[in-house]
Amino acid sequence: MAVITQKYGQICDIIGHGSSGVVLLSHKVQGCNPNLDRFYAIKVFRRGAESTGTAYRRRVDTEFFISASLQHHNIVRTFNLFRIKYCSGGDLHSLIVTSGQLEQAKADYFFKQLIHGIDFILEIGIAHRDLKPENLLLSPNGCLKISDFRSARCFRLSWENHVHISRTRRLFYIVGTISMRGI
């Protein structure tokens, strides 16, 4: 943890947690000017008791390589193995719980952004396989960003025209997502 603190600043809060680890908020002071200060979302992976060292490393590597390869305004940016873009607007689930119900115009706005992100992911040949409001983060200006690529799988390499069903082992994840593309 000392290495993380030295590189990314003081840990301020836990902003997310799940079965594979936690996401911490860090604040790094950049001199006397507060405008230069940086906030980072730091993902700290946790190996499950059932995982071997090899399986754990493969899972972490897969999540990192998939998320780092996706450069789109509706996908959370991954800078390195630990650091991802901090989205200070929280997640869509928390917004829905707090507000009780989203206005139709706001729901449509988020839905269109989600479809743009999904369309990009599918064009690359990746199935997210865990889309839910908790994995849809919001920037301060309301830009929706897809996050958490822990369950994602590559079903087609970018230069190929055919789908590799055996890579995902679960056709319904692909079919369910592709059927949304006509919307």
Binding residues for ATP: 43
Report the catalytic residues.
Answer: 130
Instruction: Report which of 21, 95, 81, 74 is spatially closest to residue 51, judged by C-alpha positions.
Output: 21
Tokens of 62: 């897969």
Contacts of 12 (CB under 8 A, 6+ apart): 24, 25, 26, 27
**CA 153/CA 174 separation, integer angstroms:** 10
Length of the chain: 183
**Strand, coil or helix: 17:** strand
**CA 65/CA 171 separation, integer angstroms:** 22
**CA 10/CA 138 separation, integer angstroms:** 23
Residue 98: CB atoms within 10 Å: 8
CA distances in angstroms from 9 to 3, 6, 15, 33, 80, listed in the order given: 10, 6, 16, 15, 16
